[in-house]
Amino acid sequence: MKFFSSKKGAIGIGTLIIFIALVLVAAIAAAVIINTAANLQQKAARVGQESTKQVASGIQVVKVVGYAPNNNEITKLLIFVSPNIGDEIDLSSTIVTLSNGEKKCSLVYDSAAYVNDPAIQGTEDLFNGDNVQTAWTYSGGDRFGVIILQDADGSCNDSAHPTINFGDKVALTVDLNAIGMPIKPRDLIEGEVIPEYGSPGIIEFYAPSTFNRRVIELQ
């Protein structure tokens, strides 16, 4: 009787090679799965942070005041805004939209139309006071200006990038004649103050049926 020991050895080596190959494949697959899981976790964390930023941050319209010098139409708007609790809002990246149903305008910030902490006696001074006229003088069409009213930490000191955070209050200036949209009695005005991140502030009001004073609170 002959024994083929070499053949059994060959079979054993082949099995070992297959086993090692399976282990290597399993290790590679595990590494790929772990790497994929890590990437997905990082992406989920980023998405979560961005979602939280979108929900927590944003801007709110506190009130809207109009100026009707001739009692027949409103020619200027002051949009008082403050940030929600959350991240800072860079007003240089903010857009203001206004629509009267027939026309819609999108306004961007004009760094030339900037006034910080003016000495005023009342709301009317914000429209026609000598020390705020810069905020109503734009370098081009479809622009809005900024009047800083409250800024405890100086975050709005840079006129190129006035940045509001919690507790700050500013007024956005809009010259309605400059954008060809003076407000008539009973006009419905809708719009938004849209920050780069976060929820927009809503503008929506009906103008009163008569303008019996120059300064009119609209919203």
Give tens-digit pLDDT for 19-52. 888 888 888 888 888 877 666 766 655 654 555 5
At the top level of CATH, which class does the domain 58-217 belong to? Answer: mainly beta
**pTM (two decimals):** 0.75
Instruction: Report pLDDT digits (tens) over 194-210.
Output: 999 899 999 999 999 99
pLDDT band at 92 (very low <50, low <70, confident <90, very high): very high
Task: Could you list the beta-strand ranges (E) of 84-162.
Answer: 89-90, 95-99, 104-116, 143-150
Instruction: Report pLDDT digits (tens) over 60-87.
Output: 999 999 999 988 999 999 999 999 887 7
Q: Report how far residue 176's alpha carbon sits from residue 103's, in angstroms, rounded to the nearest whole number.
A: 12
**With the C-alpha atoms ordered 81, 76, 184, 180, is the resulting torsion angle positive or negative?**
negative
Alpha helices, DSSP H only, in 71-176? Answer: 123-128
Residue 174's alpha-carbon distances to 17, 85, 203, in angstroms, are 78, 26, 13
**Contact by Cβ (8 Å): 133, 114:** no
Instruction: Report pLDDT digits (tens) over 110-146.
Output: 999 999 987 777 889 999 998 899 999 998 889 999 9
Which amino acid is located at 142 in the chain? D
Residues 6+ apart with CB under 8 A from 209: 185, 186
